[in-house]
């Protein structure tokens, strides 16, 4: 009897302790007056319809007026966030959770094994190397030394085949524009000049002679961060020569293409070029470098489908293609006649989406089965050797290595398991743990499950829901619904340190696999494009309704978030159903659908979106859902924090600026509608750890404050 009494007292003590450590949301936060954003008469006519755009002046990112507006908006936002009583506690908790050693899978180049590592809170990952596998570690490249504030990042590294030379890209302030520096690997001495104005480019070595890279001409007029970049050009840079002497290999006026990529087969015999005008579909060209003066051979002469060359065995070419295979297949052909009419299946199409890779003379087929990984190993002739047993249901990646390697490394993760690296023996199929991160988190206390819900038109849509075991389904749980739904991109399970803040508080993290993504192949993608784009928004809205109907949460406890195309998703859904959610986070979003194609590389997104210039039907469709245009006067919108960055030259910040200005003008009610604008940051890649933690701190603080949940301090 005494035992039960003692346990009862302990339980009461724990509850009391937890209540003492809870900081309630503040009920009297004062929102400073929003900046008075001037309105300028600006009217455009589309097929007889006049559209007003009074905040067009905010598109000029170089003007002093825009900079003053950014400063004023950030002051309002910072003043609001400073009043949240648990903001500092969340920052401290995030910093604690983030502070563990993170290491990438190793890769071999020449006599060295290279890997990336972050000791915990370093702003950028450091590239290390060691002689062989057992040598002493040494720093090879430390991006934390590139700039004092950690905002210059390493954007790509490429070694020559023998590992003696390396070219690396740096991005300053998060921009897509990069610079390329070439080093001797042994002593890290710089070779030649720094290449300027490189963008959307890989780096492909031809022997030790030089590299292929892609770029656009620097815009002559206006800002390099917002002006259109339309003609990609592939160059060859011979080392120890000036960039001005670089040879144009493909693109330019002769063959104008918006995106051009290049690579070499592992034996360096073939130069492979992909060319495209949109984010989906590409031409494919091959040049036999063993034949002096040879021309490019056209493999695919249209941009209807996606294709790329995996590798070659002599004259035999292995190609991944979606031609006559919506879910993808691997085919073989000969360089003598590589046209599609000659292709023969090596790995035929299946019901699951295929992403193949190569290593150790094998083909690794990474299939998506309901948005989770299934890996099969084939020989180079397409004979199935084994299905690789994964630790559980989740996402596996990295099944690639050189042709003569006997082992490779892959990573595995899901929503409750941090990314773990495994060493895999290609001959035996044996996997062993290579690196497991020591996160202060117990996965056994949480569960992640997949459900299927019904969208507006009857389509079944999968969704992963993650939460702490034992939560009550009473509609009171703070919930974050995150989505993307576009560009054939699949959202597969992955671990996020930031999301632990929500899960620890008894919250729910939900990710639906919306149409427009690539989870079920081309048909799923196309069902969320152009005049079918509303399907994506309907899928997301239906996900929110499911979570409410099943008592995971309620409208008063529901937040929605998404970035880039996902920012468009949030913007469209909060304007179509403002009462359905309490909090909204449209991040770096495409929010002006009538003008998106007039900035940087935006015209390339037309495959998914269409443009207002295409037809009257397309204009009217875009105008109806475009978040900037769909905002209505005297409407109560969710508590909103728009986020963007001044160096975002992918989705220019003008989208967010104009949307936030009109949202503040039209919004009624007590919910705050703010914009948080990072400086010296871009679309997301390369952000310093310090900036990421600061942004995530503000996101969760804003969410818990406006859901009125408070914050339970965890030590």
Active site residues: 564, 683
Burial-class residue 138 by CB neighbours within 10 Å (0-12, 13-18, 19+): exposed
DSSP H helical segments within 21-85, as ranges? 64-82
Is the Cα dihedral 441, 442, 445, 446 positive or negative? Answer: positive
Length reported for the chain: 715
Burial-class residue 688 by CB neighbours within 10 Å (0-12, 13-18, 19+): buried
Distance CA 524, CA 520 (A): 5
- Exposure string over 443-479, b if 16+ CB within 10 A, otherwise e: eeebebeebebebeeeeebbbbbbbbeebeeebbbbb
Q: How many CA atoms lie within 13 A of 115 on its CB side?
A: 21
Distance CA 59, CA 65 (A): 11
Burial-class residue 185 by CB neighbours within 10 Å (0-12, 13-18, 19+): buried
HEC assignment per residue over 471-523: CCCCCCCCEEEECCCCCCCCCCCCCCCCCHHHHHCCCEEEEECCCCCCCCCHH
Distance CA 310, CA 359 (A): 11
| Nearest alpha carbon to residue 183 among 203, 200, 199 | 203
Q: Are 197 and 218 in contact (CB under 8 A)?
A: yes
**How many C-beta atoms surround the C-beta of residue 327 within 10 A?**
19
Residue 190 carries which DSSP code? Answer: B
């Amino acid at each position: 009897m005494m035992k039960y009494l003692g346990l009862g007292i302990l339980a009461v003590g724990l509850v009391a302790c937890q209540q003492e450590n809870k900081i309630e949301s503040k009920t009297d936060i004062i929102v400073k007056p929003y900046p008075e954003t001037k309105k300028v008469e600006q009217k455009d006519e589309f097929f007889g319809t006049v559209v007003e755009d009074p905040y067009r002046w905010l598109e000029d990112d170089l003007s002093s007026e825009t900079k003053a507006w950014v400063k004023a908006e950030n002051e309002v936002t910072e003043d609001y966030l400073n009043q949240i009583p648990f903001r500092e506690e969340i920052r401290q908790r995030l910093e604690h959770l983030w502070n563990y050693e993170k290491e990438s899978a190793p890769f071999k180049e020449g006599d060295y094994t290279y890997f990336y590592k972050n000791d915990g809170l370093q702003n950028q990952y450091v590239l290390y190397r060691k002689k062989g596998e057992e040598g002493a570690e040494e720093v090879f490249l430390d991006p934390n030394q590139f700039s004092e504030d950690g905002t210059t990042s390493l954007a790509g590294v490429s070694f020559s085949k023998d590992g003696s030379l390396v070219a690396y890209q740096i991005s300053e302030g998060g921009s897509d524009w990069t610079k390329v520096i070439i080093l001797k690997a042994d002593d890290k001495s710089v070779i030649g000049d720094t290449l300027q104005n490189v963008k959307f480019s890989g780096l492909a070595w031809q022997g030790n002679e030089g590299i292929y890279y892609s770029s656009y001409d620097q815009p002559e007029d206006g800002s390099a961060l917002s002006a259109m970049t339309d003609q990609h050009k592939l160059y060859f840079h011979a080392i120890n020569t000036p960039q001005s002497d670089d040879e144009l290999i493909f693109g330019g006026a002769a063959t104008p293409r918006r995106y051009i990529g290049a690579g070499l087969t592992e034996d360096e015999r073939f130069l492979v070029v992909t060319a495209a005008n949109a984010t989906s579909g590409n031409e494919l060209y091959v040049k036999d470098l063993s034949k002096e003066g040879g021309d490019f051979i056209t493999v695919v002469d249209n941009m209807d489908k996606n294709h790329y060359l995996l590798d070659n065995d002599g004259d035999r070419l292995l190609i991944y293609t979606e031609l006559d295979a919506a879910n993808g297949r691997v085919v073989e052909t000969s360089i003598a006649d590589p046209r599609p009419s000659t292709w023969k299946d090596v790995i035929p199409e299946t019901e699951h989406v295929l992403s193949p890779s190569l290593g150790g003379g094998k083909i690794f087929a990474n299939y998506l089965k309901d948005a989770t990984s299934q890996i099969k190993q084939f020989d180079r002739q397409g004979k199935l050797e084994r299905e690789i047993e994964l630790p559980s249901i989740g996402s596996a990646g990295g099944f690639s290595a050189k042709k003569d390697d006997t082992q490779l490394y892959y990573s595995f993760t899901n929503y409750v398991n941090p990314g773990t690296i495994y060493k895999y023996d290609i001959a035996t199929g044996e996997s062993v743990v290579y690196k497991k991160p020591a996160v202060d988190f117990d996965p056994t206390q949480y569960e992640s499950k997949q459900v299927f819900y019904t969208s507006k038109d009857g389509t079944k849509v999968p969704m992963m829901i993650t939460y702490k075991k034992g939560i009550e389904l009473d509609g009171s749980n703070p919930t974050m619904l995150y989505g993307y739904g576009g560009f054939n991109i699949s959202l597969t399970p992955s671990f996020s340190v930031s999301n632990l803040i929500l899960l620890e508080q008894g919250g729910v993290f939900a990710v639906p696999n919306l149409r427009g993504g690539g989870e079920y192949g081309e048909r799923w993608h196309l069902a969320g494009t152009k005049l079918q784009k509303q399907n994506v928004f309907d899928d997301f809205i239906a996900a929110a309704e499911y979570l409410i109907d099943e008592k995971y949460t309620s409208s008063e406890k529901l937040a929605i978030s998404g970035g880039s195309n996902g920012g468009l998703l949030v913007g469209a859904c909060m304007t179509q159903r403002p009462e359905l959610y309490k909090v909204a986070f449209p991040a770096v979003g495409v929010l002006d659908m009538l003008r998106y194609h007039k900035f940087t590389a935006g015209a390339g997104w037309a495959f998914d979106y269409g443009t207002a210039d295409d037809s009257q039907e397309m204009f009217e469709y875009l105008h109806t859902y475009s978040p900037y245009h769909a905002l209505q006067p005297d409407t109560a919108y969710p508590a909103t924090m728009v986020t963007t960055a001044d160096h975002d030259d992918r989705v220019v910040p003008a989208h967010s600026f104009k949307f936030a200005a009109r949202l503040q003008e039209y919004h009624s009610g007590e919910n705050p509608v703010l914009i948080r604008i990072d400086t010296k940051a871009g679309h997301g890649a390369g952000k310093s750890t310090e900036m990421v933690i600061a942004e995530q701190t503000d996101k969760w603080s804003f969410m818990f404050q406006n859901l009125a949940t408070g914050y339970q301090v965890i030590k």
